[in-house]
Amino acid sequence: MTAIRVGIIEDEMVIAEDIRDILESNEYEVCGIAKNYEKSIEMIDNCQPDIVLLDIKIKGDKDGIDLARTLRSDYNIPFVFISSHSDSQTVKRAAEVNPYGYLVKPFEDPDVLVAVEIALSNFQNEQDQTVDEDRLLNNDLFVRMNNLSVKIPLDDIKYIKADGNYSQIQTKGKSYVMRSTLKDIEAKLDKTRFYRTHKSYIVNLNQLTAINSEYVIIDEEKLPIGRDRLQHLMDRINKL
């Protein structure tokens, strides 16, 4: 089973390393630590955590609550606030961004683990209740982005690329990053129109312009094709 990836955003390195030790001793993977807003965004983009533990008071002009708003608007990642500030004003500001958990310093090892488990459970329940997220309707795929369900016409999709727990949908004019595996997306697509040429790629057969033994070409982009998939794809095309 793949370990859950955790990002830690904390400007006190002693505390950050303590949290790392607690998590890694309990089979979580800490994929990055950051101290401020800018480095946090960079870390999240690079390591793509499954959950973020986020200190409210971080260095810089933007604090942890500002970062939480960005996580809500631009990412689909659960987050837990960590703070020694439990005054009513801070709690009110924190509540406005709907965190999936709240952990007050000082804390014990079990407090961290329980906060993570509850946050992941709350996040999964939220995803299950979002009935229109990433679903196929007629000839369109609806993708959840920035608190909206964005319609992507299937005809516009050139290919879909796997990127860990995320997938990148490439259309004629734009890329969409969504928190779904390629396998989950493949299950929603019409198999007569889309084909998985590689473990990391699904292509729109109507967009293909050329094929050889190593790759397929869509709008001059070379996309890999697995050796075990080439003959099967050729058989499919010959039947069209």
pLDDT at 217: 94
187 vs 145: which has the higher pLDDT: 187
CA atoms within 13 A on the CB side of 12: 12
123, 78 in Cβ contact below 8 A? yes
Q: Which contiguous run of DSSP H or E holds residue 211?
A: strand 210-211
Average pLDDT, the chain: 85
CATH fold of the domain at 135-239: OB fold (Dihydrolipoamide Acetyltransferase, E2P) (2.40.50)
Peptide bond into 106 cis (omega under 30): yes
Q: Which residues contact 160 (CB under 8 A, 6 or more apart)?
A: 167, 168, 169, 170, 182, 185, 194, 201, 202
Of 202, 163, 167, 178, the residue nearest 75 (C-alpha): 178
Q: Which residues of 90-120 are buried (b: 16+ CB within 10 A; e: fewer)?
A: bbebbeebebbbbbeeebeeeebeebbeebb
What's 5-129's CATH class? alpha beta
With a cut of 70, say whether residue 67 has pLDDT above it.
yes
pLDDT at 65: 92
Q: pLDDT (tens digit, 9 = 90+) per residue, 125-176?
A: 776 554 344 455 567 777 776 666 788 888 899 999 987 777 889 998 888 8
Mean pLDDT for 11-25 is: 95
With a cut of 90, say whether residue 124 has pLDDT above it.
no
% of the chain surpassing 70 pLDDT:
90
Mean pLDDT for 41-63 is: 90
Tell me whether domains 5-129 and 135-239 share a fold: no
Bridging pattern class, strands 148-153 and 194-198: unpaired
Could you tell me the residue ranges of all domains in the chain?
5-129, 135-239
With a cut of 50, say whether residue 196 has pLDDT above it.
yes
